[in-house]
Amino acid sequence: MPGYTHLQRAMPVLWSQHMLSYGFYFANDLERLRETAKRVNRSPLGSGALAGNGFNIDRDMMAEELGFDGLLWNSMNAVGDRDFVTEFLQWGSMFMQHISRWAEDLILYCSAEFGFITIADAYSTGSSLMPNKKNPDGLELLRGKAGRAFGHMAGFMCTQKGLPSTYQKDLQESWEPMLDHAKTISDSLQIANGILSTLTVKPEKMKAALDPFMLATDLADYLVRKGVPFRETHHISGRCVAKSEELGIPMNQLSLEQLQAIDSRFGDDVAQTFDYERSVEMRQSKGGTSKARVLEQVKVLKAMLE
pLDDT single digits (tens) 114-127: 999 999 999 999 98
Q: Are residues 204 and 218 in the same domain?
A: no
Mean pLDDT of 144-148: 97
Q: Are residues 180 and 130 in the same domain?
A: yes
Q: Are residues 135 and 253 in the same domain?
A: no
Number of alpha carbons in the 13 Å side-chain half-sphere of residue 18? 20
Name the pTM for this structure. 0.92
Q: Are residues 192 and 216 in the same domain?
A: no
pLDDT tens figures, 279-297: 999 999 999 999 999 999 9
CB atoms within 10 A of CB 170: 13
CATH of the domain at 276: 1.10.40.30
pLDDT confidence of residue 57: 94
Q: How many domains does the chain have?
A: 2
Cite the active site residues.
6, 127
Q: Are residues 178 and 34 in the same domain?
A: yes
Q: Are residues 83 and 173 in the same domain?
A: yes
Q: Are residues 56 and 192 in the same domain?
A: yes
Range of the domain at 166: 2-208
Q: Are residues 177 and 192 in the same domain?
A: yes
Instruction: Tell me how long the chain is.
Output: 306
Report residue 128's pLDDT band, with 50, 70 and 90 as the boundaries: confident
pLDDT confidence of residue 306: 87
pLDDT tens figures, 42-89: 999 999 999 999 999 999 999 999 999 999 999 999 999 999 999 999
Q: Are residues 270 and 128 in the same domain?
A: no
Q: How many helices (H) and strands (E) does the chain have?
A: 12, 6
